[in-house]
Structure formats: structure tokens, C-alpha cells
Structure 1
Amino acid sequence: MTWTARLQRLLTTVEQRFPVVTELANRLLSTNLLDAGTRLAAQAFLAAVPVLFAVAAFAPQSMRDQLRDSLRAMFGLTGACDEELQRVLTDPAGKSLRETTGVVGLLITLLSATSFSRAMARVCERAWRLPRTGARAAAWRWVVWLLALVLVVFLQGPIRDGFGAGLWLGTPLLFVVATGVWLWTQHLLLAARVPWTRLLPGALLAAAATSALGLTARLYMPTALNRALSEYGALGMVLVMLSWLIVLCAAITFALTIGAVLADEPPLNRYLRHG
């Protein structure tokens, strides 16, 4: 028997004994997940910037302070980047933004930011191979998901600090919260078309990926952001943040897709069939 025949026989055996491996390989190869993650990252960035300025313009100072503390906790901001963030979120800057944008500008900003919600919904639907939800039925879900995500970002500082207890509690708490977020995200944006239990593998994988990237961001991002700001100005900061978002969103896209395959294939499908 030639080595080619042996390899073919081995592949056939793997396909028969572990169909999940075959399906997973097919899904990862047939779907351009990296492109989907890149598009999701672009929409995340386009949503994050106007929302940040909207908060700076209309939120009370206490909320702006909370957001600044959470962003510091997420990215370990120091030096020039921290000063830039503080400049955006200070009261004089907010007053200027209010005069520039107005309430109508705020509403347009929030509506345009739902493009990120729509992109995330499409990632979930592709992972589960479901058709798109009609805009009329899904519109309120996009807004609710975006507002909930903003709330989660606001709470990142206390969560990562374990509400004062430190990293020993903050780290597992971050994972638990992330699992709940991604479980609920799929349920909401898929319009409850998939049972909760089948959503769990993807939620756990996405939580593990986002928690790991979130914790390591504190080690890498401060130096990278300050260096980019000193060498290339604000454009350098944009490129660094966009690069990090591409990695994060690609990880989420892969995690949700892998989770959907694991939930649909044996052996997990026998335990996750009912929600």
C-alpha cells in the first residue's frame, strides 16, 4: 500500500470516527472568516469613535470618568495616549462637542453605530447558517445590543478589578461576564432561533478569546499606542487600535463558528439538542 493510499485511508477513518473534525475543517476552509472578522472590526471602529464623542458631549462628568477608568483598565493607557483620552472626555471638550453636534447629531450617531450591530448579527447568522432576520423584526435588537455593549464597556474597570478585590477575582469574573455576554448576544441577534444550550460552546470559546486578548492588551497596547502617537500622530493610534480590533473580531468570528459546529456535531449535539 502506497503512502497516498494510507493517507486516504487515515482521512476516511478520521471522517467516520470524528465527523466534527471534518465539518469544522470544511467550514473554516469554505467560509472566509478572516474577511468577515476584518469587516466586523471596521464596523466596530466606525461605531466606537462616534459613540465616544457622543458620551463626551452629552454624558455627565461622572459617567465620563467611569468610561475613562474602564478604557484605562482595558488598554492600560499611560502617558500621551491617556492624556489624549482625558482631553476628549473633559468638560470643556464636551461643551464644544454639544454645540457642534446637537441632539440631532447624537441621534444620527447612535443610528449609524447600529451598523456594528448588523455586522455582528450577520456573523452570528453565518456561523449558524441561518437566513437574515427581517429589518423590522431585528432593528430593536440592534439598538438594544449596542446599548448593552456600551454598558459592558463602562463596567470593565470594576469588573477587571474584581469590584475592589483585585485580579484574583477580576480575571474569572471577566470570563464569566464575557460568557454571559456572548451567550446573550447570539440569542438576541439570532432572534431566539437557536436554543440557549446550543449557543453555549460558542459563548465559552468567544469568552476565552476575548478575555485572553483583553488581559494581554494591557501588556502590549500602552507601548504600541504611545509609540505610534509619537511617531505618526493620531493616525498612528488609529492604525494600532484598528489592528487590535481586527485580531479581536477575527477571534470572535472563529470562536462563534467553531462553537456552532461543535454544537451541531457529535458528541456534543446529543447533550445540547434541547434548549
Structure 2
Amino acid sequence: MRAFILALSLLAAGSAFGQAIVLKDGNRIFSSEFSLQDGKIIRTIQIGEQKATSIVDKKNIDSLEWPYPAELTESADLLAKGKTEEAIAVLKKGRDFFENFEGIEGNWFVDVYFAYIEALNQGGKFDDVVKSLPALRALKLTDAQKMRLRIIQLDIERQTTSDYVAIIGEAQSILKETDDSAIGASLWNIIADVHSRKKEWEKALLAYLRIPVFYGTQMQRVPEAELNAAKTLVKMRRYEDAAAFLARIVDSYPGSQVAEAATKEKAAIAGMKNVIEEEAAAPADGKSGEAKPQESEAAKGDESKPKA
């Protein structure tokens, strides 16, 4: 029994040891011993039944002793479930926490902040991303993060310009430079969106589907890609196929923004049948052939609007 209690104590101590402020004198302030208030680090010491508090001067901090942030793991899981808004909220909280230790060795601020901007971009928060770019560029980024920054910038360009040839050319060029699956998934999302803007539905569909098929390990990108693939099927007037795809999305990502969007799309095309190419091309003047079925609001859309 004593051995069991000792093991638990050591486990708890190891956990606490994993999250601590390391002072220049070698002492550690564990995460359970401090809090953040208005940008100040408040240390609380229990002395008998009394508590004493003091402000920790950042000049006395040597480094942070912190494992891989839970915010990065949790946000990736939320994105994989199609819960983009929740992921953004988690990363914002992490960004606000680590910002207090910016410039201190062992701090995860850059990683969390970068993930936060990427989540904003994935969630279609275009204005927020643009506003944040100057601060992002000013940070000391790794080569991998610099590459990911190129993707964010390219994604902005595809939403603000119509030079589609240049955008796809740049995306394909970057694909040749790296075999990073996260970058690949992001690039194919951009390529797919460009094809969609050009109303090249078949190319757009295949590009969107490359993400779950070839980059399935990037689970945070899969829900969005599947939803966009289903929307593309609607544009192609493959209504029955789209409805089946949308139903699967609703079942796969319950309680998410992706599932909510899929439900609305599915309702808009309820009962509509696939329109084969010959029927879609037939005149609707009542003199020959059959009239085209009424296109759903989901299929009409506004091609000028930026996509998430």
C-alpha cells in the first residue's frame, strides 16, 4: 500500500515538474503555484493555513519547463471533429497564456499562435487573419513555419485575386518542394477552391477528395474537404449523390459546424434527383426535352464570396 501511495506521489510530482517556471536561481514555480492576472505572474505560497502571494518579476525567469501544450492537441482533435469555432477558442486561450512568457526559452507562444492563425484561416476568419499577419511575420519562425506562412499568404491571394493560373502554379511549385502532409492537404484545398471558382466542378471534386484519400492523417482538414466535395456534387447537379454524402457528414461529425452546414445543404436539395449531362443541357422552353429541375439555393451560391 505504501509503495502504491509513493508511486502516486512520484507521478503527481512528475506531472507538476512537467509544468513549471524555472527561475534564474534554479528554483521552480510549478503551475499549481501561480496564476496570471492582468499580465502579471502571481505566485501563491501556502504557509500552514495562510496563503502569501507575490509578483514574479519576468527578469528573474530563466525558462519555462513545459510539455507539449494541451491546447495544440485539443484543438487538432476539435478540428478533426469539424468543430472549428471551438478549436479557435481553445487556441486563443493558449495564445493568451503563453503570450505572458513571450521571449522566454521553452515558451510555446509561437507554435500556439501560429496554430491559432491557421485555425482562423480554416474557419474563414479572413479579416482576422489579414490583421494578424504583420505580427506573425515578426516572430522568429522555423523553416517549417515559414513554409506554412507561404500557404496562408497563398490562401489569402486566392480569396482576393483572380489570377488563378499564378495561384495554382505557386501551389504546385510548393508541392514539389515538400512531402509534408499538412502542407499538401492545405495546398490541395486551395487548388480545389480555385477550380471551384472557375466552375471546373469535376477538377474541384477530385481535388477536394484528394485530402481524405491521400492526406487522411491530417484529420483536421478532412471534415472541411468532405463538406466542400459534397457542395461540389450539388453544383454538378448530382443531388442524390450529394445528399448521401451530406448525410454521412452529419453522422460523422455530430454537433459540429460542419454537420450544421451539411444539414442545411441536405435540406435544400431534399427529394431532388441526379441530373444527367444530357438533361442538364436540354432546353427548358417546353418545346423539346424536359425542363431542368429548379436549382437549389445551395447549388446557386454566390461564386464571388470567399469560401471557408
Q: TM-score range by the shorter chain?
A: under 0.3
Between 1 and 2, higher relative CO (CA 8 Å, sep ≥ 6) is seen in 1
Larger radius of gyration, structure 1 or 2? Answer: 2
Using the size of structure 1 for normalisation, the TM-score is 0.27
Using the size of structure 2 for normalisation, the TM-score is 0.24
Q: Which of the pair is proportionally richer in strand? A: 2
